[in-house]
Amino acid sequence: MKKFYSQSLFALVITFLSITSYAQITNYATPPYFTGFESGTLDNNWYTTSSNANGRIQIWNSTSLTWNSMTATAHTDTMWLGLDANPGGTLVTNEAWMGLDLSNSTGYRLSFWWSDWNDETHLEDGVFISDDGGLNFTKVLDLHGPNYTDLVWNHFDMDIDSLNAVYNLSSTSTYVIKFQQIDNYYFAGGNDGFLFDDINIYYTCETSNTISASACNSYTVPSGNQTYYATGTYYDTLTNSQNCDSLITINLTLQTSFETVTDLICDASYTSPSGNYTWNTTGTYYDTIPNAAGCDSIITFNLTFDASTTSNLTVTTCNTYTSPSGNHTWTTSGLYQDTLVNAAGCDSLISVDLTVHYTVYDSISVTACTQYTPPSGVVVWTASGVYTDAWTSADGCDSLIIIDLTILNNTVGNISASTCDSYVSPSGNYVWNTSGMHVDTLTNSIGCDSIVWVNLTVYGEEYTSTTINACTEYVSPSGMYVWTENGTYFDTLASQHGCDSVIEIDLTVETVDVSVEQEMTELKANATFASFRWLDCNDNYSAVAGATLNTFTSSTGGTFAAEVTQNSCVDTSDCYTIAALSVGSIDGEQFAVYPNPTNGLVTLQFEGLQDNVDVTITNIVGQVVHQQSYGQTDKIDLNINSEAGIYFIEFKTPQYNSELIKVIKN
């Protein structure tokens, strides 16, 4: 259920149809039938009913309803039929019946446009059909609002014959189509309702047919509207006996044939197959003869006359060469001529540029390590001796070689080595980073392989981790780093094998709050959950007896620091100077003058606010060095801007008598 909204005044309502006391349909429209509700009233073949007084079925103007920047508009023109509940709050079923006299008619379709306005899903929402005047209804279409976008028109088109067949119904004279909606709120209140427009019962009589056709050169379709000149599938439209479109698919075959002949003519002329033409020059020609179907067979001739050919042939051979025709054998290099018959039966003149090579005989001396493969590559020799090899030389002819062979031997050695990360082999060709036996190859003094077996031990990098708690800072094990913040750090030492030993340090640096606040003669350490000692900075930082609280005062003055123990760590604050005070009381109220002695700056502090304070500073001989009146204040900062000596500060207020304080300037 949705939230109830109070309804403001709606725009013009054309016709109100929410009536539950009407008799059922008494008039049935004969199709084809169409209504767009533009008359503002329902036709007399309509009947409406609602399950209670809240139901509302009425025709609306296109711009009557607007809510939340959305306006309900008709699908076409200006009117549409709406179903909702007014006032909201009570669930109601709205039914709009449309009566049809189908009288066993066939070929009709139901077409309508529907829009939803935020309606929830109910099983009762949809389109229903009855063939007995509304005594029994069968649901044929669900209209579930949440599946659609609000106020967007959706088109439905259904074949009535198919619906009857599926749901075992008949096209009777009391055929009823019911449009039904159930919900509990109204249009323009943000909730619930169906909109219908352009309801159409129409007849379909379109037919289709497929034919096969053949022709020689062209074909004109039955309608006479188009002529085609190639084989293919084409389409035409006629009007059938019911004055509807008759769609014809035409599978067309054109019997005219086409052929292309390419020929090389050695003779002086050529006569076409029809006997109508004689050609004697190279070119493209055309002739036409009847084909088996009695249509034209159009032949294209690509003719080349005097088709004798010439070519050049470059040949390299060993000792002898037989010409392409087989009529000649040549044994020396030179330029020769030969004649063949080409594919067209014409002479093919060949110019042969011949190079003749001969078998080569040679001898060589060879020194090899372990074994030797001769140029032929067909054998391998492992002992010294004199051998004969036959192979094909660079010019492709036989080459016989006598080889005086000396075989030298390889050497083998062993070494042991160790490394931290990787090891470069003696030859420099390999880098090994795992322990084990490795093999390398060098060249020995006789130029053969020196095979070296390396027994390698790779220690590799060591890795350890530790957790450290430190006060203020931590110096890494290598001494190369000083860390002052929490974190994970890495340091590197040398292992017992001289390799890197990496240490991962999870460091927690405990800090000590050594901040101090000063108010006149009082010092206050800010650390919490800590213990304290106050130190005399002027006495080699010796502890002040009994000063173990977080606050410290001194009436005699001096320089002091706080030693703070916090988080199991100890640290000392900066030194703070407490000046000696000259204190007194006037009429029961305290005042203080500090520091005394001073370097020139003096503060006059009252216990409470004073009005109109007059201050006069004189030197020891009575000369006035400063005189000023101050408004309401409890603190006055003075500056004795004169030479060192003894001065007197006199101040008085309306509340106090005059008071004189002696101050020494260093």
Q: What is the predicted pLDDT for the residue at 12?
A: 29
Structural domains of the chain, count: 9
Closest listed residue to residue 165, CA positions, set 124, 213, 131, 206: 131
515 with 532: CB under 8 angstroms?
A: no
CA distance 149 to 115: 8
DSSP three-state, residue 576: strand
Whether residue 8 lies inside any domain: the answer is no
Residue at which a domain ends, from 177, 203, 229: 203
pLDDT of residue 15: 31
pLDDT in tens, 322-375: 999 898 999 899 999 988 887 767 878 899 898 988 877 788 999 888 888 998
pLDDT tens profile 198-223: 999 998 766 678 999 888 888 998 98
Q: Write down the pLDDT at residue 582.
A: 60
Do 384 and 275 share a structural domain? no
> Is residue 4 in a domain?
no
**Together in a domain, 122 and 22:** yes
CA 100/CA 176 separation, integer angstroms: 6
What torsion, rounded to 10 degrees, do the Cα atoms 229, 231, 234, 237 define?
60
103 and 241 fall within a common domain: no
Express each pLDDT in 575-607 by its tens digit: 987 766 666 655 556 777 877 788 888 888 777
Least confident segment among 84-98, 413-427, 577-591 = 577-591
Q: What is the distance between the alpha carbons of residues 380 and 405, in angstroms, rounded to a whole number?
A: 12
Average pLDDT of every residue of the chain: 85
The confidence score (pLDDT) of residue 40 equals 94
Instruction: Give the residue among 22, 97, 84 at the shortest CA–CA distance from 56.
Output: 84
Tell me which amino acid residue 113 is: W
Q: What is the pLDDT of residue 297?
A: 84
On whether residue 391 sits in a domain, the answer given is yes
Residue of 665, 597, 606 lying closest to 636 (CA atoms):
606
Same domain membership, residue 563 and residue 427: no
Token pair listed for 663:
């101050």
The answer on pLDDT for 10 being more than 80 is no
Q: 293 and 161, same structural domain?
A: no
Helix (H, G, I), strand (E, B) or coil at 373: coil
Kindly tell me if the per-residue pLDDT of 560 is higher than 50.
yes
Output DSSP code: residue 93: E
Three-state secondary structure call for residue 538: helix
How much of the chain exceeds pLDDT 70, in percent?
92
Average pLDDT value for residue range 401-409: 89
Q: 114 and 21 in one domain? A: yes
Determine the pLDDT at residue 378: 85
How confident is the model over 486-532, as pLDDT tens digits?
Answer: 899 998 888 777 788 889 999 888 888 889 988 767 899 998 988 99
pLDDT, tens digit, for every residue of 369-379?
A: 888 899 888 89
DSSP assignment of 101-162 = --TT--SEEEEEEEEESSPPP-TT-EEEEESSTTSS-EEEEE--GGGS-TT--EEEEEEHHH
pLDDT at 588: 57
Q: With residue 303 as reference, give the H or E element that holds it.
A: strand 296-305
Cα–Cα distance between 407 and 403 in angstroms, integer? Answer: 12
The predicted structure's pLDDT at residue 589: 66
Residues 154 and 188 grouped into a single domain: yes
> Residue 353: inside a domain, yes or no?
yes
Instruction: Kindly state whether residues 25 and 66 are assigned to the same domain.
Output: yes
Instruction: Identify whether 87 is preceded by a cis peptide bond (ω within 30 of 0).
Output: yes
The candidate with the shortest Cα–Cα distance to 19, out of 42, 52, 60, is 52
Q: Write 621-624 long-range contacts (CB < 8 A, 24+).
A: none
512/6 Cα distance (integer angstroms):
68
Asked if residue 20 has pLDDT above 50, the reply is no
Q: pLDDT by residue (tens digit) across 275-328? A: 999 998 889 998 889 888 788 888 998 888 766 778 899 988 888 999 998 989
pLDDT at position 30 over 70: yes
CB 508 within 8 A of CB 488: no
Last residue of a domain, one of 578, 611, 631: 578
- Rounded to whole angstroms, the Cα distance separating 154 from 82 reads 15
User: Residue 529: left (phi > 0), alpha (psi -120 to 50), or beta?
Assistant: left
pLDDT of residue 579: 67
CA dihedral 387, 390, 392, 395 (to 10 degrees): 80
Q: Is the CA virtual torsion 442, 444, 449, 450 positive or negative?
A: negative
Residue-level length of the chain: 666
Q: What is the pLDDT of residue 376?
A: 82
User: Is 540:559 a contact under the CB 8 Å cutoff?
Assistant: no
**Cis status, amide bond into 595, omega within 30 of 0:** yes
The Cα 359–Cα 631 span in angstroms is 132
Same domain, 167 and 114: yes
Q: Which amino acid is at 498?
A: G
134 φ, ψ to 5°? 100, 5
Domain containing 549 equals 516-578
**Whether residue 39 sits in one domain with residue 157:** yes
**Is a pLDDT exceeding 60 seen at residue 132?**
yes
Mean pLDDT along residues 22-26: 69
38-63: b (≥16 Cβ within 10 Å) or e: eeeebeebbbbbbbeebbbbbbbbbe
pLDDT band (50, 70, 90) for residue 6: very low
Let me know if residue 3 belongs to a domain: no
- pLDDT tens profile 230-264: 899 988 888 776 666 677 888 988 888 778 988 77
Rg for the chain, CA atoms, rounded: 60
Is the pLDDT confidence value at 663 over 70? yes
Question: Are 102 and 186 found together in one domain?
Answer: yes
The per-residue pLDDT for 241 is: 63
Q: Do residues 77 and 94 both lie within one domain?
A: yes
Q: Given CA atoms 477, 479, 485, 491 in this order, what sign does their dihedral have?
A: negative
CB atoms within 10 A of CB 372: 19
Residue 17 has pLDDT above 50, yes or no: no
Give percent of the chain with pLDDT exceeding 90: 37
**Using one digit for the tens of pLDDT, what is the confidence trace for 426-453?**
999 999 988 899 898 888 888 888 888 9
Domain end: 141, 174, 203, which one?
203
Question: What average pLDDT does the segment 374-396 reach?
Answer: 85
Q: Is residue 2 part of a domain?
A: no
Give the model's pLDDT for residue 657.
67
Asked if the structure places residue 1 within a domain, the reply is no
Q: b/e map of 187-220 (b: 16 or more CB within 10 Å)?
A: bbbbbbbbbbbbbbbeeeeeeeeeeeeebeeebe
Residue 108 covered by a domain = yes
